[in-house]
Amino acid sequence: MFIGHFAVGLAAKRATPGVSLAVLFTAAQFADTLWPVFLAAGLEQVRIEPGNTAFTPLDFVSYPYSHSLVLLLVWGLALAIVCRAFVRDNWIAPVIAGLVVSHWFLDFVTHRPDMPLYPGGPKLGLGLWNSVPATVAVEVPMFLAGIWVYTRSTRARDGVGRWGFISLMVMLLLIYVANIVSPPPPSIRALVITMAAGIPLFTAWSWWADRHRDPVKGETW
């Protein structure tokens, strides 16, 4: 899943309005943040295999440290403890841990049975990626629902808050479409470099837009 992870990050703003969207995105995408690091270090493996599923040309050979359920529980706990030390918000720890672990369940829905329960353990996956229309039909409404919750939990204070946020959402959607229609990455190295460049960019972008928006108080949903 791609924009589905951002959807849960956006929605989490409702529970923790004082926490930057950049932190929520980082938690929801923590598995995919670790992944290029572990790939570059040779600890995890992926192959380029066009047609692996209809949606992705990637064969996720092995990623027990970034993408197994047990390790994501551990990462979630660790990130929650770190965030709890810096942010005064009673909800921060459960929200951050929940976001990190949510990555496994969302990827479990879309991936082939390649999502490990624990390193060396059984691999699971429902394979939504076998159908591009089904994937889009699930993920795009999720993403729009996330935007809906976020924009009802915050209000733009100025043009950066409005257009910085809108442009970020449009960019994520464009990348999503580009992923579907463009050819496979030329190499694993190119994939790692693209992710290593993209993750800090989108983290900074979401931090910048989010800090120009104020939490909306007292609204119920």
Name the residues that contact Zn ion, by CB under 5 A.
31-32, 107
Nearer to Zn ion, 114 or 210 (CB): 114
Residue 51 CA neighbour count, 13 Å, CB half: 0
Smallest distance from the beta carbon of 14 to Zn ion, in angstroms? 23
Backbone Cα Rg of the chain: 17
Nearer to Zn ion, 107 or 114 (CB): 107
- Whether the CB-CB separation of 143 and 3 falls below 8 Å is answered with yes
Smallest distance from the beta carbon of 67 to Zn ion, in angstroms? 6
Pull the structure tokens for residue 113: 């049975």
- Whether the CB-CB separation of 146 and 9 falls below 8 Å is answered with yes
Smallest distance from the beta carbon of 86 to Zn ion, in angstroms? 25
Nearer to Zn ion, 44 or 154 (CB): 44
Smallest distance from the beta carbon of 46 to Zn ion, in angstroms? 11
Determine the Cα–Cα distance for residues 56 and 163; give it in Å rounded to an integer.
31
Residues contacting 186, CB < 8 A, separation 6+: none
Nearer to Zn ion, 86 or 105 (CB): 105
